[in-house]
């Protein structure tokens, strides 16, 4: 963690999710999984929740004016019509149209601004859809649902530079979908042992990295996973500065 990051922590926007109720008074709530914010804060960033209000997709530039970086988190499935398909499986879950609209609008605006982006799990899938790619709606047992697995990384990638290695042995995943047709300007930079794409990078951006697993869940036990957040925050601090 650099002195600049400590003295001037960049604001990192984390896309919020809609809950039907919360524990406090059982009211509707906006939420974000705590490990994302913890990993960002540990790296020296200041996490802020971006609530998916009905007006939020039209306000993305107002949000991004204030941010040093954008974190696209995991969550439910992307609606198939967003990538030109109809639902072909009953395995689809957690689809919320407003989440898709907000996340996609944020991605496009972030790319336009060359804002550092870390896209995690659903976030990587949203990045692919934003760039015109498609998804495998259900991997039918070939995914990674609540398990750890190894990932091989392209040594020339931003991801390898951040993690300090070309192999991560303990990547915790919770997904039943994967990338199918790759979106424009994206290149695959990591794969699992079966060949499934596990990470992508935007070739026209300074630093936009998507990973299919959840690095925030193992930062306390695997320094290489935290190192990804460290580099993201360094890039965000430089952008904000």
Q: What is the DSSP letter of 69?
A: E
How many whole angstroms separate alpha carbon 43 and alpha carbon 6? Answer: 9
Phi, psi of 170 (to 5 degrees): -130, 75
Residues 6+ apart with CB under 8 A from 58: 105
For residues 180 and 157, what is the distance between their CA atoms, to the nearest angstrom?
21
Selected catalytic residue, list 15, 158, 175, 216? 216
Active site includes 176?
no
Given 99, 144, 158, 214, the catalytic residue: 214
Q: Is 214 a catalytic residue?
A: yes
How far apart are alpha carbons 169 and 38 in whole angstroms? 22
Angle ∠(58,61,67) on CA atoms, nearest 5: 135
DSSP-derived 3-state class of residue 63:
helix
Reported as type and span, the H/E element at residue 152 is strand 144-153
H-run or E-run covering 234: helix 223-240
CA–CA separation, 42 and 19 (whole Å): 26
Q: Clarify whether 121 is annotated catalytic.
A: yes
Q: Which helix (DSSP H) or strand (DSSP E) does residue 40 occupy?
A: helix 34-42
Given the residues 121, 175, 201, 231, select the one marked as catalytic: 121
Where would I find the H helices in 74-207? 97-113, 122-130, 158-163
Q: Which residues are catalytic?
A: 121, 214, 216
């Amino acid at each position: 963690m650099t002195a600049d990051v400590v003295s001037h922590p960049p604001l990192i926007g984390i896309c919020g999710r809609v809950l039907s109720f919360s524990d406090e008074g059982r009211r509707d709530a906006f939420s974000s999984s705590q490990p994302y914010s913890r990993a960002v804060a540990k790296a020296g960033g200041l996490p802020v929740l971006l609530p998916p209000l009905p007006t939020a997709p039209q306000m993305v530039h107002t949000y991004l004016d204030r941010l040093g970086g954008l974190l696209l988190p995991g969550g439910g499935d992307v609606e198939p019509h967003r990538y030109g398909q109809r639902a072909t499986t009953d395995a689809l879950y957690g689809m919320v149209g407003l989440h898709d609209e907000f996340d996609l609008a944020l991605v496009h605006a972030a790319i336009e601004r060359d804002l550092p982006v870390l896209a995690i799990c659903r976030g990587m899938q949203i990045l692919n859809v934003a760039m015109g790619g498609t998804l495998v709606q259900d991997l039918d047992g070939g995914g990674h649902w609540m398990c750890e697995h190894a990932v091989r990384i392209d040594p020339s990638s931003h991801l390898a530079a951040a993690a300090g290695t070309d192999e991560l042995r303990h990547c915790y995943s919770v997904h039943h979908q994967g990338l199918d047709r790759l979106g424009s300007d994206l290149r695959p930079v990591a794969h699992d042992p079966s060949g499934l794409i596990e990470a992508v990078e935007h070739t026209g951006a300074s630093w936009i990295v998507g990973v299919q697993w959840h690095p925030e869940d193992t930062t306390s036990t695997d320094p290489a996973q935290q190192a990804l957040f460290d580099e993201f925050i360094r890039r965000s601090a430089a952008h904000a500065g």
